């Protein structure tokens, strides 16, 4: 079945840091929109963005975020050129900048420079000794209690994301994160493990960066969105550029309400969720929350490129 003929309202999902893998940019579909996006990002960076997806390069937070932006925007543009028009766009963490480009609020050139600055400042603030972890099987209230106990012991750790009612992300110092992980496992968590992220994203530790980004975004020309943008901080639908600018700046210092975002997309009428490469986690979260909806990770879908003039997603029945 052709995506263009399903009659479903579509949501584009953009993964954040942790989804990256070596070779991710070289694995993108062979499509003119992808090629043009790679050229545009490379010209903005004054260097070849394809150099950023090696195992060595992806040790850098800056490279990871720029590679994610490039991959997400490139495939979203290819989809739109093939007639797949989203009702809404939602990005997790750094993926919010890709969502803002997809919503046509932010020009890609400006998004590249903002993401580069965001990654550089994150690395400067916390070059080592910090990170994130995901806890599965405990509620937000239970994890909040564990976090509070560890923080009372003078270790920096915070709730940084609510992916589902029983999948909670934390961030902070290595000591704080490790202590909460150990405590979560002792208290019945099905799984608790560190993520491939080396900074304390979405915590008050990054409020200085959020403030700097807010000042920087005020210098950028934003347009009113042509698609609905889903906020990280509140999980709500945003339809004006000023509110989106605030979310882009402040999400780095606040927990990502991803589960709320998924509910809002469903309430808006989205029935087909397409996760841009290189991720698959957001697809699994949609499937867990709303098994009746269709959600696909394009990075894992054979044939999710183009036939002449039309995009065919062979995974659809």
Give the domains, in start order, of the chain with CATH numbers: 3-125+205-311 (3.40.366.10), 130-197 (3.30.70.250)
Task: Report pTM.
Answer: 0.91
- Half-sphere exposure in the Cβ direction for 46 (13 Å, CA): 1
CA torsion sign for 130, 135, 141, 145 is: negative
Residues across the chain: 317
Nearest to 39 by CA among 119, 112, 89, 136: 112
Q: What is the pLDDT of residue 7?
A: 55
pLDDT at 311: 42
pLDDT tens digit string along 225-236? 999 999 999 999
* Residue 136, CB-side half-sphere exposure with 13 Å CA sphere: 8
CA–CA gap between residue 57 and residue 291 (Å, rounded)? 37
Separation of alpha carbons 262 and 113, rounded Å? 28
d(Cα 193, Cα 170) in Å, to the nearest integer? Answer: 10
Residue 123: what pLDDT?
A: 87
Q: Which of 63, 98, 173, 202 is catalytic?
A: 202
Listed as ranges, residues in the chain with pLDDT below 70 are: 1-7, 301-317
Q: Please give the Cα distance from 269 to 10 (Å, whole number).
A: 9
Assess contact for 17 and 201: CB atoms under 8 A. yes
- Annotated active-site residue 254? The verdict is no
- Residue 93 is a catalytic residue: yes
- From 31, 63, 93, 166, active-site residue: 93
Looking at residue 198, what is its pLDDT? 85
């Amino acid at each position: 079945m052709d995506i263009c003929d399903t009659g479903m309202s579509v949501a584009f999902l953009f993964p954040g840091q942790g989804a990256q893998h070596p070779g991710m940019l070289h694995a993108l579909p062979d499509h003119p929109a992808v090629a043009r996006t790679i050229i545009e990002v490379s010209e903005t960076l004054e260097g070849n963005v394809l150099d950023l997806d090696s195992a060595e390069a992806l040790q850098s937070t800056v490279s990871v975020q720029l590679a994610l932006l490039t991959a997400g925007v490139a495939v979203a543009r290819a989809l739109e050129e093939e007639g797949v028009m989203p009702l809404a766009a939602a990005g997790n963490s750094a993926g919010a900048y890709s969502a803002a480009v997809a919503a046509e609020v932010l020009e890609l050139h400006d998004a590249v420079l903002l993401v580069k600055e965001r990654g550089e400042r994150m690395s400067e603030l916390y070059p080592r000794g910090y990170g994130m972890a995901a806890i599965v099987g405990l509620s937000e209230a239970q994890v909040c209690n564990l976090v509070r106990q560890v923080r009372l012991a003078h270790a920096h750790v915070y709730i940084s994301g609510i992916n589902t009612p029983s999948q909670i992300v934390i961030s902070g110092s290595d000591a704080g994160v490790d202590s909460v992980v150990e405590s979560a496992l002792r208290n019945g968590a099905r799984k608790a493990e560190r993520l491939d992220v080396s900074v304390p994203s979405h915590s008050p530790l990054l409020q200085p960066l959020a403030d700097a980004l807010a000042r920087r975004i005020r210098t950028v020309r934003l347009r009113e969105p042509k698609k609905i943008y889903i906020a990280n901080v509140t999980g709500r639908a945003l339809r004006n550029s000023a509110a989106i600018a605030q979310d882009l700046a402040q999400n780095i210092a606040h927990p990502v309400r991803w589960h709320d975002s998924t509910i809002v997309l469903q309430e808006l009428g989205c029935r087909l969720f397409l996760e841009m490469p290189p991720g698959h986690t957001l697809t699994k979260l949609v499937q867990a929350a709303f098994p009746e909806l269709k959600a696909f990770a394009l990075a894992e879908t054979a044939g999710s490129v183009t036939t002449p003039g039309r995009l065919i997603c062979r995974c659809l029945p």
